[in-house]
Chains A and B, each alone.
Chain A
Amino acid sequence: MNRFAFFPGCLVPTRYPAMEFAIRHTLPKLGIEIVDLEGTSCCPDPIYFKSRDKLDWLSVAARNLCLAEEEGIDLFTNCSGCTATLSETWHLMHENEEIRDKVNARLAKIGKEWKGTSRLRHIATLVRDVVGYEAIRETVVRPLNGLNVAIHYGCHLLKPSKIMNVDDPNNPTILEDLVRALGANPVRHDKWYLCCGKACSNEDLPANMMRDLLTTVQEAEAELLCLICPTCFGQFDYGQLKVAKQFDEDFHTPPVYYFQLLAFAQGVAYEDLGFERQRFKPEVMNRFKIREPIEEPAK
Chain B
Amino acid sequence: MAESAGKKKVVRVDFAFRRELAEKVEGNLASFCYQCGACVGDCPAMTYTDDFNPRQIMLKVLYGLGEELIGDESYLWECTNCYNCAERCPQEVKPAEVIISMKNMMADRGQYPPGVEKVINAFLTEGRTVAMNPAIDKNRARFGLPPLSPVPMDEILILIEASTGEGKES
- CB of A205 within 8 A of CB of B104, answer no
Question: A107 interface residue, CB < 8 Å from B?
Answer: yes
Interface string of B16-57 (1 = CB under 8 A from A): 000000001110000000000000001011011100000000
- CB of A156 within 8 A of CB of B83, answer yes
- CB of B127 within 8 A of CB of A14, answer no
Bound-state Cα–Cα, A155 to B26, Å: 20
Interface string of A29-72 (1 = CB under 8 A from B): 00000000011111011111111111110111001000000000
Smallest Cβ distance from A18 to chain B, in angstroms?
6
Contacts of B137-151 to chain A: CB distance below 8 A: 139-140, 142-145, 148-149, 151
Bound-state Cα–Cα, A21 to B143, Å: 6
- CB of B136 within 8 A of CB of A14, answer yes
Contacts of B73-113 to chain A: CB distance below 8 A: 77-84, 86-87, 94, 100-101, 103-104, 106-107, 112-113
- Identify the stretch in A142-150, A191-199, A291-299 within 8 Å (CB) of chain B at 4 or more residues: A191-199
Smallest Cβ distance from B3 to chain A, in angstroms?
24
With a cutoff of 8 Å between Cβ atoms, the chain A residues found around residue B113 in the complex are 201
With a cutoff of 8 Å between Cβ atoms, the chain B residues found around residue A51 in the complex are 100, 103-104, 106-107, 112, 116, 120
Size band of the interface chain B makes with A? 35 or more
- CB of A10 within 8 A of CB of B79, answer no
Contact flag A53-B163 (CB < 8 Å), given A15-B130, A18-B143? yes
Question: B11 interface residue, CB < 8 Å from A?
Answer: no
Question: A284 interface residue, CB < 8 Å from B?
Answer: no
- CB of A48 within 8 A of CB of B44, answer no
From A11, A13, A50, A205, contact of B80 by CB (8 A): A205
Smallest Cβ distance from A99 to chain B, in angstroms?
7
Which residue numbers of B lie inside 8 Å of A, CB to CB?
Answer: 24-26, 42, 44-45, 47-49, 77-84, 86-87, 94, 100-101, 103-104, 106-107, 112-113, 115-116, 119-120, 123, 127-130, 132, 136, 139-140, 142-145, 148-149, 151-152, 155-156, 158-160, 162-163, 168
The 22 listed contacts between A and B (C-beta, < 8 Å) are: A14-B132, A14-B148, A15-B130, A17-B140, A18-B143, A39-B151, A39-B152, A41-B123, A48-B123, A49-B123, A52-B103, A54-B25, A54-B100, A59-B160, A60-B156, A107-B159, A109-B158, A159-B82, A200-B44, A200-B78, A204-B48, A209-B44
